[in-house]
Structure 1
Amino acid sequence: MSTNPIGIFDSGIGGTSIFKEIYALMPHENIIYLADSANAPYGNKSRERIQELSIKNTELLISKGCKIIVVACNTATTNAIDYLRNTYSIPFIGIEPAIKPASLNTKTKSIGILATKGTLSSTLFHKTTDLYANGVTIIEKEGEGIVTLIEEGKLYSNEMQVLLDKYTKPMLDANIDYLVLGCTHYPYLTPILSKILPKHIKIIDSGFAVAQQTKSVLEQNSILNTSIIKPLIEFYTNTNTTILNEILERKFNVEYLDF
């Protein structure tokens, strides 16, 4: 089992931000990544539809021999991971917005969270904020339109700039000192946000923590790959491969797969 691949799926290319952290931490692991871009974004879909898509992705990764699955999508985690864990025997790693570190470290007692509708309206999100954000003002903004622009290759477009100015203004008005990125697509916004926001505002996501948790679970289950053979890294997308290739800087093989 140790040489079997890590499976990663997302509603599109955003989960590559998680892939990069996992690959950097565990460079010998074989990895299979599914970009379900044909169904992006997940954030505006019903809980039932998100579960259906998560099951489809999971069963494809299991059919390819994956030993663990990283649900590299905040919306799929909050709406489907409990079902996945109760249904399949392999371990699952989920993604949660980094509310805990932001709430514990804020000096102004005001933090911003940029996430999808599916994440912000989920039970898990509200449980996390209730648990860690007591006494902290949280400015939630649904990042409507952001995922679609990233999937279309319009990361540095005027449309994106307009959206980010709009979404961050109420956060700035509320004197936030942390901005939590609650979608795996959103770390790709960091260079743009760093120019919009004052220097004292820290932008955080959960990518490195997810990679650490993945490694820890592999170790606990004695399935960490100790081989030093060059790993097999496979990317599959059910739309045009161009955008995924570009976000990966053409360093990995990307194939079209109808799933």
Structure 2
Amino acid sequence: MSDARPIGVFDSGIGGLTVLRALRERLPEESFVYLGDTARVPYGTKGADTVTRFATEATLLLTRRNVKAVVVACNTASAIAIDRLRTVTDLPVYGVIEPGVEAALAVTSGRVGVIGTLATLASDRYGQLLRAARADLVVEGKACPLFVPLAEEGWVDGGVTLAVASTYLEDLRTAGVDTLILGCTHYPILKKAIGDVMGPDVQLVDSALVLAEAVAADLQRRDAQAEAGSASRLE
């Protein structure tokens, strides 16, 4: 059996392209429909009801494009709305938070930092899952709202970006975190600047690669992969 339908992916803007890239590299024969809701970016400064409404609209739009699964390539939507999204469609709905937690647990020595939007940090979804897995973990969070517009504008490095990163990340450096979860899909775009500030001894966790592996494994389990040799399409 095989399933030639595309996989739907959505985010509030261009950040989800980091997830899309990982998915396409891991699943080169799959086709994708990408929705970047740039008209309403960012989601991270909006209330939970608004984020849930936007994410539900995006999910339903993708289902109307006859996708076989939906990837929520947005940490804010994953933190706030993932349970709701799984009730509005029978399709598999994958979020980015659980893979990020899994990746962090695999490398941390015990002190994990989480950076994300105001809404993601307020939900404490990362902290809840990390502490549920390891009660001894120290979890430090920091909202970095200016990272999204910097990424959207393409200001990936340089003096302004480094100054903003240094200001945001100072408390996490002082706290001595050994692992830092990039809890927004825009943030890998700024990975070099973040890494320069945090230093080489801090592991940066980007959930995109782990998510791509999880999606690949689930498609195989459900016998829902595209046929071998299929030509990939991107809409």
Distance 1:213 1:106, change over 3 A: closer
Q: Cα distance 1:89–1:99, how it changes in 2: closer, same or farther (>3 A)? A: closer
Offset of 1:20 from its aligned partner?
Answer: 1.0
Of 95-104 and 66-75, more deviation after overlay is shown by 95-104
Q: What displacement does 1:153 show?
A: 2.4
CA change 1:132–1:167 in 2 (3 A) is farther
In the TM superposition, residue 183 of structure 1 has moved relative to its aligned partner by 0.7
Other-structure match for 1:36: 37
**CA offsets, 1:172-228, max 9 Å, x none?**
111221111111111111112222222111111211111011112212222110241
2:108 is aligned with what amino acid? T
Alpha-carbon distance between aligned partners in 1 of 2:227 and 2:201, rounded to the nearest angstrom: 41
Q: Is the 8 A contact 1:23 1:29 kept in 2?
A: yes
The verdict on how the C-alpha distance between 1:38 and 1:165 changes in structure 2, with shifts beyond 3 A counting, is same
Any residues of structure 2 matched to 1:180-191 within 5 Å, and which? 180-191=181-192
- Does the 8 A contact of 1:104 with 1:132 survive in 2? no
Aligned to 2:96, the other structure's residue is in SS state coil
Q: Is the 8 A contact 2:162 2:197 kept in 1?
A: no
Corresponding letter in the other structure for 2:91: I
TM-score, structure 1 length as denominator? 0.84
Higher helix share: 2
By how many angstroms is 1:233 displaced?
0.9
Cα distance in 1 for residues equivalent to 2:61 and 2:185: 21
Query: Does the 8 Å contact 1:68/1:90 carry over to 2?
Result: yes
CA distance in 1, matches of 2:30, 2:121: 33
Q: Give the aligned partner of residue 84 of structure 1.
A: 85
Deviation of 1:100 after TM superposition, in Å, equals 4.4
State the distance in 1 between where 2:29 and 2:49 align: 36
Question: What is the SS of the residue equivalent to 1:83?
Answer: helix
Q: CA offsets per residue over residues 27-57 of structure 1, 9 Å max, x none?
A: 0101011110111111111111111111211
Deviation, structure 1 residue 103: 4.5
Aligned residues: 233
What residue number does 1:106 align with? 108
In the TM superposition, what are the counterparts of 1:1-259 in structure 2 within 5 Å?
Answer: 2-96=3-97, 98-103=100-105, 105-107=107-109, 109-122=110-123, 124-234=125-235
> Counterpart of 1:233 in 2: which secondary structure?
coil
Residue 50 of structure 2 aligns to a residue in which SS?
helix
> What is the alpha-carbon distance in structure 1 between the residues aligned to residue 175 and residue 132 of structure 2?
22
Distance 2:204 2:56 in 1: 32
Could you tell me which amino acid in structure 2 is paired with residue 18 of structure 1? Answer: V
Cα offset, 1:126, TM superposition: 4.0
Cα-Cα RMSD? 1.8
Provide structure 1 residue ranges, at least 5 long, that are not aligned to the other structure: 235-259
C-alpha distance in 1 between matches for 2:48 and 2:171: 28
Measure the CA separation in 1 of the matches of 2:151 and 2:55.
21
1:133 CA displacement: 4.4
The aligned counterpart of 1:245 is: none
Offset at residue 135 of structure 1 (A): 2.2
Per the TM alignment, residue 113 of structure 1 is displaced from its structure 2 partner at its CA by: 1.2
Paired residues of 2:130 and 2:137 also in contact (CA < 8 A): no
1 CA distance for matches of 2:221 and 2:195? 37
Gaps of 5+ in 2: none
Partner Cα separation in structure 2 for residue 196 and residue 53 of structure 1: 33
Residues in 2 aligned to 1:210 and 1:110: alpha-carbon distance in whole angstroms: 22
